[in-house]
Amino acid sequence: MTLAEQFASFADGLRLADVPAPVQRLARLHLIDALGVGLGASAVPSHRRFLQGLHEESDTGGRATVLGYSTGASAPVAALLNGTSIHSLEYDDTHMGSIVHGSAVIVPAVLATVETHALSLDEAVRLVVIGWELLVRLGEASPGGFQRRGFQVTSVGGVGVAALLASVARGASPAQSVAAMGIAGSQAGGIFEFLSNGSNVKALHPGWAAHAGLWAARCAAAGMTGPTTVIEGRYGLFAAYADDPAAGGRLAVGLRDLGTQWRLADAAFKFFPCCHYIHPFLECAQALSARIATVADIAEVHCRVAPGAATVICEPWSSKQQVASGNEAKYSLPYCIARVLLGRPVDIPSMTAAGVDADAIALAARIQWTPREDSGFPAKFDADLRIMLADGTQLHHAVDQVFGSPQRPAGEDAVRAKFAANVAPVLGATARDTAWDAVMQGGSLDTLQRALRTAAD
């Protein structure tokens, strides 16, 4: 079988009862976390304007929920808007080894399709598990390969996974699901050039992948065909987007433990709305800040950064020290560290502001970095931070693995607190708790849908 055929076979055969209870619980937790992030994004004025513009020009009245709205839309439109919302804050989960933001593409595709086809919330959970297991393995097969070519694996790989999930939800045959993945391969995209000027198009990557995946499933259902070798073929994803034709063989090996080893268990939650690579450095800064009387005492801050992370959060350094907007700040190691050392939050308002913190810019000028060749990246998001004070004192702190990862789990209480904070501008307490319980306690999709749609337009 081709790789796409193996994907389809796994999706067709996996039952929710086959998934261990702890993995099911994690799937529910990642699902509700993503919905909370998307709802929080819908209340950010700049993103709200974007949503409003697209929602008004698109079809309304469909069955699929648009986060932050009481009215629905067609499944592809809802997937586009929700995927963009979930990824827009840089607050969505990450699988570190594959560098995949799984929920940002999987959850919008799944939610839109299960609503449209009147399926159950349990089926949504099953599809979330399938999506994570396949997308992560695809990313792991070419570690850093897509990124080195300037592509985001979440969107390049996610479009085919979204197509598969949508096809399964439609009741398609495995052959139709394979065709959908093949069709989706011609719609793959998402480049990192946004880093050149701090533009916010990265938010669109998983939304467009989910949207295109749903359309690919529709095209396959209507009779269009696609290449069965879309992943490993001569012009397939690995060859064209990662320049790594050998990755197909590695993925074939990675698929051998499908259904026995669960990659979802390795995904990490985020607790700062900025690039995940920055988070362990913020933990270091928090640990050291209590030992500094005033930032005026800081002579220099030195960071040792994994080369693979540095391309996003450090380069070019002069630009990272002189960010001009909150969106640029999300990917700036020195700016975010400076905010923490100043005792100021790295939160949604500061990371979505039109302007920046002048004090943080000034302090960022005293922050430097060097490559850390012994880093465990990308399997580990680690950090090493040293602060030199004006009196000669040196302060040092290191983090071996980021908080929220399986090695340092946050726990459900922390994820629930994050969810509550994110939805506070949009949902009342009753709707908030109803949504949480519907997902986490195995409630109905109708109950979840009603709770989500109490959000005011």
pLDDT band at 163 (very low <50, low <70, confident <90, very high): very high
pLDDT band at 293 (very low <50, low <70, confident <90, very high): very high
**Predicted pLDDT at 56:** 77
What tokens were used for 2? 């081709």
Query: Where in the chain is CATH 3.30.1330.120?
Result: 276-399
Nearest one of 220, 205, 195, 125 to 158, comparing CA atoms: 205
What tokens were used for 369? 């970095």
What tokens were used for 183? 């069709």
What pLDDT, in 10s, does the model give residues 322-364?
999 999 999 999 999 999 999 999 999 999 999 999 999 999 9
What value does the mean pLDDT take over residues 134-152? 96
What pLDDT, in 10s, does the model give residues 36-92?
999 999 999 999 999 988 887 776 678 999 999 998 999 999 999 999 999 999 999
**Predicted pLDDT at 59:** 67
**Predicted pLDDT at 61:** 76
Query: Where in the chain is CATH 1.10.4100.10?
Result: 3-271+410-452
Nearest one of 170, 171, 175 to 215, comparing CA atoms: 170
Q: What is the dihedral of CA 8, 236, 163, 148, to 10 degrees?
A: 120
**Predicted pLDDT at 58:** 77
Question: Are residues 411 and 269 in contact, defined by beta-carbon separation less than 8 angstroms?
Answer: no
Q: Residue 65: which H helix or E strand, with range?
A: strand 60-65
pLDDT above 70 (res 265) = yes
Average of per-residue pLDDT values in the chain: 96
Give phi and psi for 40, each to the nearest 5. Answer: -60, -40
User: Tell me: domain 3-271+410-452, CATH 3.30.70.260, correct?
Assistant: no
pLDDT band at 153 (very low <50, low <70, confident <90, very high): very high
Q: Which amino acid is at 259?
A: G
Question: Which residue do the tokens 């030195």 mark?
Answer: 302
**Predicted pLDDT at 454:** 86
For residue 306, give Cα distances in angstroms to 281, 401, 406: 12, 13, 20
**Predicted pLDDT at 264:** 98
Q: What are the residues whose beta carbons fall under 8 Å from the beta carbon of 367, sequence distance 6 or more?
A: 300, 301, 302, 303, 321, 333, 334, 337, 338
What value does the mean pLDDT take over residues 86-103? 97
Say which CATH superfamily domain 276-399 falls into. 2-methylcitrate dehydratase PrpD (3.30.1330.120)
Nearest one of 371, 364, 382 to 320, comparing CA atoms: 364
Percent of the chain exceeding pLDDT 70 equals: 99
The DSSP code for 100 is B
What pLDDT, in 10s, does the model give residues 169-218?
999 999 999 999 999 999 999 999 999 998 999 999 999 999 999 999 99
For residue 93, give Cα distances in angstroms to 86, 124, 137, 304: 10, 18, 16, 24
Q: How far apart are CA 236 and CA 232, in angstroms?
A: 5
Q: How far apart are CA 231 and CA 185, in angstroms?
A: 8
For helices 102-116 and 445-452, give the axis angle rounded to 10 degrees. 110
Question: Which residue do the tokens 């919905």 mark?
Answer: 35
**Predicted pLDDT at 55:** 80
Q: Which amino acid is at 151?
A: F
Q: Please tell me the pTM assigned to this model.
A: 0.96
**Predicted pLDDT at 162:** 99
Nearest one of 315, 367, 316 to 342, comparing CA atoms: 367
pLDDT above 90 (res 132) = yes
Question: Are residues 185 and 227 in contact, defined by beta-carbon separation less than 8 angstroms?
Answer: yes
Q: How far apart are CA 108 and CA 91, in angstroms?
A: 15
Sign of CA dihedral 203, 188, 108, 98: negative
What pLDDT, in 10s, does the model give residues 418-453?
999 999 999 999 999 999 999 999 999 999 999 999
Q: How far apart are CA 366 and CA 351, in angstroms?
A: 21
Give 362-414 as a 3 state SS string: HHHCCEEEEECCCCCCCCCCCEEEEEEECCCCEEEEEECCCCCCCCCCCCHHH
The DSSP code for 1 is -
pLDDT band at 456 (very low <50, low <70, confident <90, very high): low
